[in-house]
Structure 1
Amino acid sequence: MNANAQDQRAAVWAVVDSDIGPLLLAATGEGLVTVAFHATGAVRDRTLDRLGSRLGAEPVHAPDSPLLAEAIRQLAAYFAGDRSDFELPLDWSLISGFNRQVLRELASGVPYGAVVGYGDLARRVGQPGAAQAVGLAMGANPLPVVVPCHRVVESDGGIGGFGGGLETKRQLLALEGVLPQPLF
Protein backbone atom coordinates (compact mmCIF):
# COMPACT_ATOMS: atom_id res chain seq x y z
CA MET A 1 0.00 0.00 0.00
CA ASN A 2 1.45 3.40 -0.89
CA ALA A 3 1.67 6.20 1.66
CA ASN A 4 -1.34 8.05 0.24
CA ALA A 5 -3.53 4.93 0.46
CA GLN A 6 -2.32 4.37 4.03
CA ASP A 7 -3.26 7.97 4.90
CA GLN A 8 -6.78 7.30 3.56
CA ARG A 9 -7.15 4.33 5.94
CA ALA A 10 -5.82 6.08 9.05
CA ALA A 11 -8.66 7.30 11.25
CA VAL A 12 -8.95 10.29 13.51
CA TRP A 13 -11.39 10.23 16.40
CA ALA A 14 -13.02 12.32 19.08
CA VAL A 15 -15.69 11.85 21.73
CA VAL A 16 -18.48 14.41 21.70
CA ASP A 17 -21.32 14.97 24.12
CA SER A 18 -24.86 14.53 22.86
CA ASP A 19 -28.39 14.29 24.21
CA ILE A 20 -28.00 10.49 24.19
CA GLY A 21 -24.62 10.45 25.93
CA PRO A 22 -21.04 10.52 24.69
CA LEU A 23 -20.54 9.52 21.05
CA LEU A 24 -17.24 8.43 19.58
CA LEU A 25 -16.86 9.71 16.03
CA ALA A 26 -14.09 8.48 13.75
CA ALA A 27 -13.30 9.51 10.20
CA THR A 28 -10.84 8.59 7.47
CA GLY A 29 -9.92 10.55 4.37
CA GLU A 30 -12.98 8.93 2.75
CA GLY A 31 -15.45 10.20 5.37
CA LEU A 32 -17.11 9.38 8.65
CA VAL A 33 -16.42 5.70 9.37
CA THR A 34 -17.74 5.08 12.89
CA VAL A 35 -20.23 6.45 15.40
CA ALA A 36 -20.26 4.59 18.73
CA PHE A 37 -22.69 5.04 21.62
CA HIS A 38 -21.77 5.24 25.33
CA ALA A 39 -18.20 6.12 24.39
CA THR A 40 -16.44 6.18 27.73
CA GLY A 41 -13.84 3.89 29.29
CA ALA A 42 -13.98 0.30 28.11
CA VAL A 43 -16.53 0.94 25.34
CA ARG A 44 -14.33 3.65 23.84
CA ASP A 45 -11.21 1.49 24.13
CA ARG A 46 -12.89 -1.57 22.54
CA THR A 47 -14.26 0.55 19.71
CA LEU A 48 -10.84 2.05 18.98
CA ASP A 49 -9.11 -1.36 19.14
CA ARG A 50 -11.65 -2.87 16.75
CA LEU A 51 -11.44 0.12 14.41
CA GLY A 52 -7.64 -0.02 14.35
CA SER A 53 -7.60 -3.73 13.54
CA ARG A 54 -10.21 -3.32 10.78
CA LEU A 55 -8.45 -0.36 9.16
CA GLY A 56 -4.91 -1.59 9.73
CA ALA A 57 -3.79 1.60 11.48
CA GLU A 58 -4.20 2.85 15.03
CA PRO A 59 -6.79 5.66 15.22
CA VAL A 60 -5.41 9.04 16.30
CA HIS A 61 -7.21 11.20 18.88
CA ALA A 62 -7.77 14.47 17.00
CA PRO A 63 -10.87 16.32 18.24
CA ASP A 64 -9.96 19.41 16.19
CA SER A 65 -9.43 17.50 12.94
CA PRO A 66 -11.08 18.96 9.85
CA LEU A 67 -12.09 15.37 9.01
CA LEU A 68 -14.44 15.44 12.03
CA ALA A 69 -15.49 19.09 12.16
CA GLU A 70 -18.50 18.87 9.85
CA ALA A 71 -19.80 15.65 11.43
CA ILE A 72 -19.55 17.23 14.88
CA ARG A 73 -21.37 20.35 13.64
CA GLN A 74 -24.15 18.40 11.90
CA LEU A 75 -24.72 16.09 14.88
CA ALA A 76 -24.98 19.07 17.23
CA ALA A 77 -27.53 20.67 14.87
CA TYR A 78 -29.48 17.38 14.68
CA PHE A 79 -29.73 17.11 18.47
CA ALA A 80 -30.70 20.79 18.70
CA GLY A 81 -33.60 20.09 16.31
CA ASP A 82 -32.07 22.27 13.60
CA ARG A 83 -31.12 19.50 11.13
CA SER A 84 -33.21 16.62 9.81
CA ASP A 85 -30.68 14.93 7.54
CA PHE A 86 -26.95 14.50 7.27
CA GLU A 87 -24.87 15.61 4.32
CA LEU A 88 -21.56 13.99 5.12
CA PRO A 89 -19.09 11.89 3.18
CA LEU A 90 -19.28 8.36 4.59
CA ASP A 91 -16.60 5.69 4.57
CA TRP A 92 -18.53 2.43 4.01
CA SER A 93 -15.43 0.22 4.26
CA LEU A 94 -16.45 -1.41 7.55
CA ILE A 95 -19.58 -2.94 6.03
CA SER A 96 -20.13 -4.93 2.85
CA GLY A 97 -22.54 -7.12 0.93
CA PHE A 98 -26.17 -7.34 1.99
CA ASN A 99 -25.56 -5.25 5.12
CA ARG A 100 -24.13 -2.37 3.07
CA GLN A 101 -27.02 -2.60 0.59
CA VAL A 102 -29.58 -2.42 3.41
CA LEU A 103 -27.84 0.44 5.20
CA ARG A 104 -27.50 2.48 2.01
CA GLU A 105 -31.22 2.02 1.33
CA LEU A 106 -32.00 3.05 4.88
CA ALA A 107 -29.80 6.16 4.62
CA SER A 108 -31.34 7.30 1.34
CA GLY A 109 -34.89 6.01 1.62
CA VAL A 110 -36.18 6.52 5.17
CA PRO A 111 -36.42 10.23 5.97
CA TYR A 112 -36.39 12.04 9.30
CA GLY A 113 -39.62 11.51 11.20
CA ALA A 114 -40.50 8.27 9.39
CA VAL A 115 -40.05 4.62 10.29
CA VAL A 116 -39.85 1.42 8.27
CA GLY A 117 -40.40 -2.20 9.24
CA TYR A 118 -37.62 -4.77 9.03
CA GLY A 119 -39.61 -6.72 6.42
CA ASP A 120 -40.40 -3.59 4.42
CA LEU A 121 -36.72 -2.72 4.28
CA ALA A 122 -35.93 -6.29 3.18
CA ARG A 123 -38.45 -5.93 0.33
CA ARG A 124 -36.92 -2.60 -0.72
CA VAL A 125 -33.58 -4.32 -1.34
CA GLY A 126 -35.19 -7.21 -3.22
CA GLN A 127 -34.99 -9.79 -0.41
CA PRO A 128 -38.58 -10.06 0.88
CA GLY A 129 -37.86 -12.97 3.23
CA ALA A 130 -34.85 -11.38 4.88
CA ALA A 131 -36.38 -9.40 7.77
CA GLN A 132 -34.11 -11.14 10.32
CA ALA A 133 -31.06 -10.43 8.16
CA VAL A 134 -32.12 -6.76 8.08
CA GLY A 135 -32.13 -6.85 11.89
CA LEU A 136 -28.58 -8.21 11.84
CA ALA A 137 -27.57 -5.45 9.40
CA MET A 138 -28.96 -2.85 11.80
CA GLY A 139 -26.90 -4.38 14.61
CA ALA A 140 -23.78 -4.21 12.43
CA ASN A 141 -24.33 -0.55 11.47
CA PRO A 142 -21.03 1.26 12.08
CA LEU A 143 -22.70 4.68 11.59
CA PRO A 144 -25.80 4.81 13.82
CA VAL A 145 -27.72 8.09 14.02
CA VAL A 146 -26.18 9.25 10.71
CA VAL A 147 -27.35 6.04 9.02
CA PRO A 148 -30.61 5.98 10.99
CA CYS A 149 -31.09 2.38 12.15
CA HIS A 150 -33.25 3.78 14.97
CA ARG A 151 -35.95 4.31 12.29
CA VAL A 152 -36.36 0.54 11.74
CA VAL A 153 -39.17 -0.96 13.82
CA GLU A 154 -41.20 -4.15 14.07
CA SER A 155 -44.18 -4.57 11.75
CA ASP A 156 -46.53 -5.11 14.72
CA GLY A 157 -45.70 -1.66 16.07
CA GLY A 158 -42.99 -2.80 18.50
CA ILE A 159 -39.91 -0.66 18.76
CA GLY A 160 -37.50 -3.51 17.95
CA GLY A 161 -33.94 -3.79 19.20
CA PHE A 162 -31.13 -1.26 19.16
CA GLY A 163 -27.40 -1.48 19.72
CA GLY A 164 -27.41 1.77 21.68
CA GLY A 165 -30.16 0.51 24.01
CA LEU A 166 -33.91 0.86 23.78
CA GLU A 167 -33.99 4.10 25.78
CA THR A 168 -31.57 5.65 23.28
CA LYS A 169 -33.78 4.48 20.40
CA ARG A 170 -36.84 5.98 22.11
CA GLN A 171 -35.01 9.29 22.59
CA LEU A 172 -33.99 9.45 18.92
CA LEU A 173 -37.51 8.62 17.73
CA ALA A 174 -38.95 11.22 20.14
CA LEU A 175 -36.49 13.83 18.83
CA GLU A 176 -37.77 13.11 15.32
CA GLY A 177 -41.42 13.34 16.43
CA VAL A 178 -42.20 9.65 15.90
CA LEU A 179 -42.79 8.95 19.60
CA PRO A 180 -43.99 11.33 22.30
CA GLN A 181 -41.33 12.87 24.51
CA PRO A 182 -41.00 11.03 27.84
CA LEU A 183 -42.92 12.65 30.71
CA PHE A 184 -39.82 12.66 32.93
Structure 2
Amino acid sequence: MTDFFFPVPIEAELDPAVHRARLVAEAEREGLLDVAYRTLDTPVGSLLLAATGRGLVKVAFDRQDHDAVLLALAAEISPRILRAPSRLDAVTRQLDEYFTGQRRDFDVPLDFRLARGFRLAVLEHLPEISYGHTESYAQVAAAAGSPKAVRAVGTACALNPLPVVVPCHRVVRSDGSYGQYAGGEEAKRTLLTMEAA
Protein backbone atom coordinates (compact mmCIF):
# COMPACT_ATOMS: atom_id res chain seq x y z
CA MET A 1 0.00 0.00 0.00
CA THR A 2 1.35 3.44 -1.00
CA ASP A 3 1.13 6.35 1.39
CA PHE A 4 0.16 9.74 -0.05
CA PHE A 5 1.17 13.03 1.50
CA PHE A 6 -1.19 15.97 0.99
CA PRO A 7 0.30 19.30 2.16
CA VAL A 8 -3.19 20.85 2.23
CA PRO A 9 -6.51 19.23 3.08
CA ILE A 10 -7.70 17.06 0.20
CA GLU A 11 -10.96 19.06 -0.02
CA ALA A 12 -8.98 22.24 -0.73
CA GLU A 13 -6.81 20.47 -3.30
CA LEU A 14 -9.92 19.42 -5.20
CA ASP A 15 -11.40 22.94 -5.15
CA PRO A 16 -10.81 24.39 -8.65
CA ALA A 17 -10.33 27.93 -7.34
CA VAL A 18 -7.67 26.80 -4.85
CA HIS A 19 -5.98 24.68 -7.51
CA ARG A 20 -5.98 27.58 -10.00
CA ALA A 21 -4.55 29.98 -7.39
CA ARG A 22 -1.74 27.51 -6.65
CA LEU A 23 -0.99 27.15 -10.37
CA VAL A 24 -0.83 30.92 -10.82
CA ALA A 25 1.41 31.36 -7.77
CA GLU A 26 3.74 28.58 -8.94
CA ALA A 27 3.89 29.95 -12.51
CA GLU A 28 4.72 33.43 -11.24
CA ARG A 29 7.33 32.12 -8.80
CA GLU A 30 9.01 30.16 -11.60
CA GLY A 31 8.80 33.04 -14.10
CA LEU A 32 6.51 31.04 -16.36
CA LEU A 33 3.60 33.48 -16.60
CA ASP A 34 4.04 35.90 -19.49
CA VAL A 35 0.39 36.86 -20.06
CA ALA A 36 -2.26 36.92 -17.34
CA TYR A 37 -5.91 37.26 -18.29
CA ARG A 38 -9.43 37.46 -16.91
CA THR A 39 -12.88 38.41 -18.11
CA LEU A 40 -15.07 41.19 -16.74
CA ASP A 41 -18.82 41.68 -17.21
CA THR A 42 -19.60 45.29 -18.18
CA PRO A 43 -22.48 47.31 -19.67
CA VAL A 44 -20.91 46.68 -23.11
CA GLY A 45 -20.66 42.92 -22.59
CA SER A 46 -17.92 40.63 -21.40
CA LEU A 47 -14.43 42.08 -21.80
CA LEU A 48 -11.29 39.97 -21.94
CA LEU A 49 -8.42 41.73 -20.16
CA ALA A 50 -4.84 40.55 -20.65
CA ALA A 51 -1.62 41.91 -19.17
CA THR A 52 2.10 41.27 -19.42
CA GLY A 53 4.74 42.33 -16.93
CA ARG A 54 4.83 45.70 -18.73
CA GLY A 55 1.12 46.40 -18.37
CA LEU A 56 -2.31 45.92 -19.92
CA VAL A 57 -1.77 44.55 -23.43
CA LYS A 58 -5.25 43.59 -24.64
CA VAL A 59 -8.90 44.40 -24.09
CA ALA A 60 -11.29 42.42 -26.28
CA PHE A 61 -15.05 42.39 -26.66
CA ASP A 62 -16.97 39.12 -26.55
CA ARG A 63 -17.86 39.48 -30.24
CA GLN A 64 -14.13 39.30 -31.02
CA ASP A 65 -14.12 35.67 -29.72
CA HIS A 66 -12.08 35.56 -26.53
CA ASP A 67 -10.63 32.13 -27.36
CA ALA A 68 -9.36 33.41 -30.71
CA VAL A 69 -7.89 36.48 -28.99
CA LEU A 70 -6.01 34.27 -26.51
CA LEU A 71 -4.66 32.14 -29.36
CA ALA A 72 -3.47 35.29 -31.14
CA LEU A 73 -1.77 36.50 -27.94
CA ALA A 74 -0.08 33.12 -27.59
CA ALA A 75 1.28 33.46 -31.13
CA GLU A 76 2.23 37.16 -30.92
CA ILE A 77 3.55 37.41 -27.35
CA SER A 78 3.98 34.04 -25.60
CA PRO A 79 2.17 30.73 -25.18
CA ARG A 80 2.66 31.05 -21.42
CA ILE A 81 -0.83 32.45 -20.77
CA LEU A 82 -2.82 31.74 -17.64
CA ARG A 83 -6.09 32.94 -16.19
CA ALA A 84 -4.80 35.02 -13.26
CA PRO A 85 -7.52 37.51 -12.26
CA SER A 86 -5.60 39.08 -9.37
CA ARG A 87 -2.90 40.35 -11.75
CA LEU A 88 -5.61 42.52 -13.32
CA ASP A 89 -7.15 43.88 -10.11
CA ALA A 90 -6.12 47.51 -10.74
CA VAL A 91 -7.59 47.74 -14.24
CA THR A 92 -10.69 45.82 -13.14
CA ARG A 93 -11.27 48.30 -10.33
CA GLN A 94 -10.74 51.26 -12.67
CA LEU A 95 -13.10 49.82 -15.29
CA ASP A 96 -15.75 49.27 -12.61
CA GLU A 97 -15.29 52.91 -11.53
CA TYR A 98 -15.49 54.07 -15.15
CA PHE A 99 -18.73 52.19 -15.82
CA THR A 100 -20.31 53.58 -12.65
CA GLY A 101 -19.37 57.16 -13.55
CA GLN A 102 -16.70 57.53 -10.86
CA ARG A 103 -13.69 57.62 -13.24
CA ARG A 104 -13.03 59.61 -16.42
CA ASP A 105 -9.61 58.31 -17.43
CA PHE A 106 -7.37 55.37 -16.65
CA ASP A 107 -4.14 55.21 -14.73
CA VAL A 108 -2.71 51.76 -15.34
CA PRO A 109 0.53 50.73 -17.10
CA LEU A 110 -0.07 49.95 -20.79
CA ASP A 111 1.90 47.61 -23.03
CA PHE A 112 1.60 48.90 -26.61
CA ARG A 113 3.66 46.12 -28.21
CA LEU A 114 0.72 45.15 -30.47
CA ALA A 115 0.80 48.55 -32.26
CA ARG A 116 3.58 50.20 -34.24
CA GLY A 117 4.27 53.23 -36.41
CA PHE A 118 1.36 55.51 -37.24
CA ARG A 119 -1.09 53.21 -35.44
CA LEU A 120 0.89 53.73 -32.24
CA ALA A 121 0.93 57.52 -32.78
CA VAL A 122 -2.87 57.44 -33.07
CA LEU A 123 -3.26 55.33 -29.92
CA GLU A 124 -0.97 57.64 -27.97
CA HIS A 125 -3.17 60.60 -28.95
CA LEU A 126 -6.54 59.02 -28.06
CA PRO A 127 -6.31 59.52 -24.25
CA GLU A 128 -5.96 63.27 -24.95
CA ILE A 129 -9.57 63.31 -26.20
CA SER A 130 -11.40 64.37 -23.05
CA TYR A 131 -14.14 62.32 -21.44
CA GLY A 132 -17.49 63.38 -22.89
CA HIS A 133 -15.90 64.80 -26.07
CA THR A 134 -15.22 63.41 -29.51
CA GLU A 135 -12.85 64.14 -32.39
CA SER A 136 -13.24 63.32 -36.05
CA TYR A 137 -10.96 60.89 -37.85
CA ALA A 138 -9.51 63.93 -39.67
CA GLN A 139 -8.76 65.73 -36.40
CA VAL A 140 -7.02 62.65 -35.03
CA ALA A 141 -4.99 62.27 -38.26
CA ALA A 142 -3.77 65.86 -37.92
CA ALA A 143 -2.98 65.42 -34.21
CA ALA A 144 -1.02 62.22 -34.99
CA GLY A 145 1.10 64.10 -37.53
CA SER A 146 -0.40 62.92 -40.84
CA PRO A 147 -3.41 65.10 -41.78
CA LYS A 148 -4.16 63.10 -44.94
CA ALA A 149 -4.13 59.72 -43.19
CA VAL A 150 -7.83 59.71 -42.29
CA ARG A 151 -8.39 56.11 -43.39
CA ALA A 152 -5.29 55.00 -41.52
CA VAL A 153 -6.80 56.51 -38.37
CA GLY A 154 -9.89 54.37 -38.96
CA THR A 155 -7.69 51.30 -39.25
CA ALA A 156 -5.74 52.23 -36.11
CA CYS A 157 -8.98 52.62 -34.17
CA ALA A 158 -10.40 49.37 -35.55
CA LEU A 159 -7.24 47.50 -34.54
CA ASN A 160 -6.82 49.26 -31.18
CA PRO A 161 -5.67 46.49 -28.82
CA LEU A 162 -6.93 48.44 -25.77
CA PRO A 163 -10.44 49.74 -26.51
CA VAL A 164 -12.31 51.53 -23.70
CA VAL A 165 -9.05 52.13 -21.78
CA VAL A 166 -7.51 53.82 -24.85
CA PRO A 167 -10.72 55.57 -25.96
CA CYS A 168 -11.05 55.00 -29.70
CA HIS A 169 -14.84 55.15 -29.15
CA ARG A 170 -14.39 58.95 -28.93
CA VAL A 171 -13.40 59.10 -32.61
CA VAL A 172 -16.36 59.68 -34.94
CA ARG A 173 -16.97 60.61 -38.56
CA SER A 174 -16.92 64.29 -39.57
CA ASP A 175 -20.73 64.23 -39.87
CA GLY A 176 -20.99 63.04 -36.25
CA SER A 177 -22.03 59.46 -37.08
CA TYR A 178 -20.35 56.73 -35.09
CA GLY A 179 -18.36 54.83 -37.68
CA GLN A 180 -17.04 51.33 -37.08
CA TYR A 181 -16.14 49.95 -33.64
CA ALA A 182 -14.63 46.65 -32.52
CA GLY A 183 -17.36 46.23 -29.91
CA GLY A 184 -20.09 47.05 -32.40
CA GLU A 185 -22.10 50.22 -32.94
CA GLU A 186 -24.31 49.59 -29.90
CA ALA A 187 -21.26 49.38 -27.60
CA LYS A 188 -19.89 52.62 -29.04
CA ARG A 189 -23.28 54.31 -28.57
CA THR A 190 -23.44 53.04 -24.96
CA LEU A 191 -20.00 54.43 -24.13
CA LEU A 192 -20.58 57.82 -25.74
CA THR A 193 -24.04 58.17 -24.18
CA MET A 194 -22.67 57.27 -20.76
CA GLU A 195 -19.87 59.82 -21.09
CA ALA A 196 -22.25 62.52 -22.31
CA ALA A 197 -24.56 62.13 -19.29
Q: What is the TM-score with the length of structure 1 in the denominator?
A: 0.87
Give the deviation of 1:31 after TM superposition: 0.4
Matches within 5 A, 1:5-154: 7=31, 10-38=34-62, 43-63=65-85, 65=86, 67-107=87-127, 109-154=128-173
Q: Is the 8 A contact 1:8 1:28 kept in 2?
A: no
Q: Is the 8 A contact 1:8 1:30 kept in 2?
A: no
Give the deviation of 1:58 after TM superposition: 3.2
Distance 2:32 2:164 in 1: 23
Distance 1:139 1:59 in 2: 24
Distance 2:115 2:172 in 1: 21
Aligned to 1:164: 183
Question: Could you list the runs of 5+ residues in structure 1 that have no partner in the other structure?
Answer: none
Q: Is the 8 A contact 1:9 1:57 kept in 2?
A: no
SS at match of 1:24: strand
Stretches of 4+ aligned residues off by more than 2 angstroms = none
Give the deviation of 1:8 after TM superposition: 9.4
Distance 1:117 1:81 in 2: 24
Distance 1:129 1:23 in 2: 33
Q: What letter is aligned with 2:53?
A: G
Give the deviation of 1:50 after TM superposition: 0.4
User: Cα RMSD (Å) of the superposition?
Assistant: 1.9
Give the deviation of 1:56 after TM superposition: 2.4
Distance 1:38 1:128 in 2: 33
Distance 1:152 1:35 in 2: 18
Q: Deviations over 1:53-73 (max 9, x none)?
A: 11022321112x2x3010000
Q: Is the 8 A contact 2:39 2:47 kept in 1?
A: yes
Paired residues, number: 169
Q: What is the TM-score with the length of structure 2 in the denominator?
A: 0.81
Pick closer, same or farther for the CA change 1:79–1:127 going to 2, 3 Å. same
Distance 1:32 1:111 in 2: 21
Distance 2:175 2:66 in 1: 35
